[in-house]
């Protein structure tokens, strides 16, 4: 008998477990509008038990400043103990690790350039030698734009493609029930996919009902679209959390 994973899930009075969003309930998550609990809880999206940045579908997001990598490791540790495949989606994970490594490298490179200015002109260089700092800031801004000119179109492409495997935790045929068979796509979010209708229904009850775009408040869907357009125009600031 396959044992259901419980990492990150909330125990119920009847002995079952629910995802945090489903345990709280849509009514409470939508209460108080933009200043309510929903803003925090909907910042991430669960895919096969793993949290990803909802806006950009990565484990570590440099734009939204959220980090879920360690939580992903916890999920995978439990799944391996139970003899299950890893949580999340392998395509999202590969992309997440690739971007995290790249962004961390750029951040280290930028810190080294700042340290060089400090060594040459002192810690008050921004005041005593402002032209050096202004030029470095222009360089950083240009590089940020170039990075996100690559990152953001990739986000849109990932969302169009959807998940690379069946999103139901208990699936034994995550790539499809047979060779060449296509995965079914959730008509709500357009991202979650399943090897069969049965697994789609099971995942809806297990997790996806609390994550799907159709159950998000209208103001949040509108805000995410505004953020997407703002990003395209080169403005990456003031993400709400």
Summarised one tens digit per residue, pLDDT across range 152-176 is: 999 999 999 999 999 999 999 999 9
Answer positive or negative: Cα dihedral of 75, 66, 212, 15.
positive
Q: How far apart are CA 80 and CA 137, in angstroms?
A: 45
Contact 240, 224 (CB under 8 A): no
Exposure of 181 in the CB half-sphere (CA atoms within 13 A): 15
Contact 23, 12 (CB under 8 A): yes
State residue 132's pLDDT score: 83
Task: pLDDT band for 241, please (50, 70, 90 cuts).
Answer: very low
Contact 58, 99 (CB under 8 A): yes
What pTM did the predictor assign?
Answer: 0.91
Q: Tell me what the mean pLDDT of segment 73-92 comes to.
A: 98
3-state class of 138 per DSSP?
Answer: helix
Q: Tell me what the mean pLDDT of segment 27-56 comes to.
A: 93
pLDDT above 90 (res 239): no
């Amino acid at each position: 008998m396959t044992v259901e994973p419980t990492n990150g899930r909330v125990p119920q009075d009847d002995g079952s477990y629910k995802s945090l969003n489903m345990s709280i309930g849509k009514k409470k998550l939508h209460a108080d509008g933009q200043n309510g609990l929903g803003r925090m809880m909907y910042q991430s999206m669960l895919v096969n038990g793993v949290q990803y940045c909802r806006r950009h579908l990565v484990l570590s997001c440099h734009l939204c400043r959220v980090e879920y990598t360690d939580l992903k490791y916890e999920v995978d540790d439990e799944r391996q103990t139970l003899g299950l495949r890893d949580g999340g989606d392998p395509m999202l994970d590969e992309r997440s690790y690739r971007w995290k490594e790249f962004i961390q490298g750029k951040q280290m490179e930028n810190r080294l350039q700042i340290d060089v200015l400090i060594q040459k002109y002192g810690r008050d260089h921004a005041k005593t030698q402002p032209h050096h700092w202004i030029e470095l800031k222009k360089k950083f801004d240009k590089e940020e734009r170039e990075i996100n000119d690559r990152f953001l179109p990739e986000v849109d492409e990932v969302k169009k493609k959807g998940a690379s495997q069946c999103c139901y935790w208990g699936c034994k045929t995550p790539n499809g029930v047979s060779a060449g068979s296509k995965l079914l796509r959730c008509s709500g979010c357009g991202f979650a996919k399943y090897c069969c209708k049965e697994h789609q229904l099971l995942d809806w009850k297990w997790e996806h009902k609390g994550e799907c775009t159709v159950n998000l408040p209208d103001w949040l869907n509108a805000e995410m679209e505004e953020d997407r357009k703002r990003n395209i125009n080169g403005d990456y600031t003031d993400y709400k959390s």
